[in-house]
Amino acid sequence: MSETRHVPVMLQRCLDLLAPALAEPGAVAVDCTLGLGGHSEALLNAFPGVRLIALDRDPVALRLAGERLAPHADRSTLVHAVYDELPEVLDRLGIPRVQGVLFDLGVSSMQLDEAGRGFAYAQDAPLDMRMDQTTGMSAAEVLNTYPPGDLVRILRTYGEEKFARKIVDAVVKARAEEPFANSARLVELIRNALPQAAKRTGGNPAKRTFQALRIEVNGELSVLERAIPAAVSRLAVGGRIAVLSYHSLEDRLVKQVFAAGAGNTAPPGLPVVPEQYQPRLKLLTRGAELPGDEEVAENKRAAPARLRGAQRIREDHR
């Protein structure tokens, strides 16, 4: 078990962004991506009056985080759910509004470190990549059954892979001989499919394909598209949301939702903007904040992180 799994990314900055809202008496905070509970533990320690609701789709993560958060069991509720299910979870618990929401997107350190999960291209493992292994299609099934056009679209859109067509041509040829089962065969195929020049830059050449498959298998972007607006809608006025993303597709989605909430929606040309068109959100970060050099040196998984924060400043007017 790698020690890096216990290092929450941009932890102090996340706490600072949420702090003004969580100092309220009776504040409720939601950690939408519990993982191993690093951010949640720090929240509970920093804000002794806070009640925590924490979600994760991975039953193994829930069990391990539950052990870690046991000292705070009286004020934490851990729920097996995907983060776009936040409104349903809060309804079940009878909580109409919350003061703080945290998302730490992407794949958890635990999932990367457990060889059997098939997330990491650096070690051979079954091509699974499901964050919840009790449901849905594995990465191997996607590779073996999707039509070539769909695979190209996934690699281009979710992996921003320039050589998607070359890789998919090789995959289609290889799967006709023998279906894919393990990650090492896919990594080798990608290495062989790419032009020499492409292999000299940007780290492991399989990285983009693995990212694309993981996003497809877990429906990450469609879940996120629903989850961020849902979380904003459940914030109390004065409540705050902080979102850590790890690639440009996630960050773009978060940016769009925050920008839409922070802009006025009045028809152009009105001399005075009526209340119902006023912004609902105030941006708390200028663009996306990045981790410092020191943090990246200590925890390489922090390197791609982008943090955005926003505060709810008024109710929706329907």
- What pLDDT, in 10s, does the model give residues 95-152? 999 999 999 996 655 555 555 555 667 678 889 989 888 888 999 999 999 999 999 9
Domain boundary assignment for the chain: 3-110+220-312, 119-217
Question: Are the folds of 3-110+220-312 and 119-217 the same?
Answer: no
Is 39 assigned to a binding site?
yes
37 marked among binding-site residues: yes
Supply the pLDDT for residue 102. 98
How far is Cα 164 from Cα 186, in angstroms, rounded to an integer? 13
Residues of the chain with pLDDT under 70: 1-6, 106-120, 122, 197-202, 317-318
- 261 a known binding residue? no
Nearest-angstrom CA–CA distance, 102 and 254: 12
Amino acid 234 reads R
CB-CB contact of 211 with 158 (8 Å): yes
Per the annotation, does 83 bind a ligand? yes
Residue 104, marked binder: yes
- Quick one: pLDDT at residue 205? 86
317 carries a ligand binding annotation: no
The answer to whether 80 is annotated as binding is: no
Looking at domain 119-217, does it have CATH number 3.40.50.720? no
Q: What is the architecture of the domain spanning 3-110+220-312?
A: 3-Layer(aba) Sandwich (3.40)
DSSP assignment letter at 115: G
Here the tokens at position 233 are 């809608």
